[in-house]
Amino acid sequence: MKDDLIEIASFCADKNLVPARSGNFSARIDSEKIQITQSGKDKGKLTASDLMEINYKGKALNPEEKPSAETLLHTQIYTLFRDVNFVAHFHSSSSAVLSKILNKKKIKRIKLANYELLKALSGVETHDHTEEIPIFANDQDIFRLSMEIAPELERAIVTDKSIHAYLIAGHGLYTWGKDKAETITHVDAINTLIESYIMEIQLSKSLSKSGPKKVESK
């Protein structure tokens, strides 16, 4: 479990998704304990000693260790989604900037549609799919933020509609998976899809202004 968690964090570090020691990662140990990265650790150089155990209320089992300030967002996911065993939170520029701009425009979710890469997400079997990623305003009061997020996650359970990630505006992205491989796949796919979405917006605006150039035959 520790090795898998370190590998997920290392993958994100290699992709430059956790700059300046940002981000946090966790794994479900059992029905009582969760393992999570300690605050302020370099995610590209984690060792077993950089991981700590918390309970489902987010309290450190060793009071001398300091978990991430966003621990409650991790425990919330494990509590609601029983098949989730890993949570990854990263701070890519694309997710931070896009979520900040959309939040300012009062847009509450990103809709990613008709990309082949959507099939990399658990349970998605066709490109003819619309993946909705909710956006929440950033809040330093993590309990209050978790209460904002809860209805969206609960709605996915009630409607049996899969949800693979959410964004915190100007901050970063949370995603998860049932195992190491699925979690890494979700990190990679969702980050790439968001970059593709940004490119789609930029090119669509550019082409709508100038129109495609005609190529004259000689």
Residue count of the chain, please give it.
218
In tens, the pLDDT along 57-90 reads: 999 999 888 888 899 999 999 999 999 999 999 9
Per-residue CA distances from 179 to 4, 19, 23, 37, 71 (Å): 9, 24, 19, 17, 19
Instruction: Tell whether pTM > 0.85.
Output: yes
Provide the sign of the torsion angle of the four alpha carbons 179, 191, 135, 54, taken in this order: positive
Mean pLDDT of 161-188: 96
Domains belonging to the chain, first-starting first, are: 2-203 (3.40.225.10)
CB-CB contact of 196 with 131 (8 Å) = no
If you average pLDDT over residues 167-186, what whole number do you get? 97
Single out the residue of 198, 8, 179 nearest to residue 115, CA to CA.
Answer: 198
Name the phi and psi angles at 212, rounded to 5.
Answer: -65, 140
d(CA 171, CA 178): 24
pLDDT at 211 exceeding the cut of 80: no
Q: What distance, in Å, lies between the first and last C-alpha atoms of the chain?
A: 64
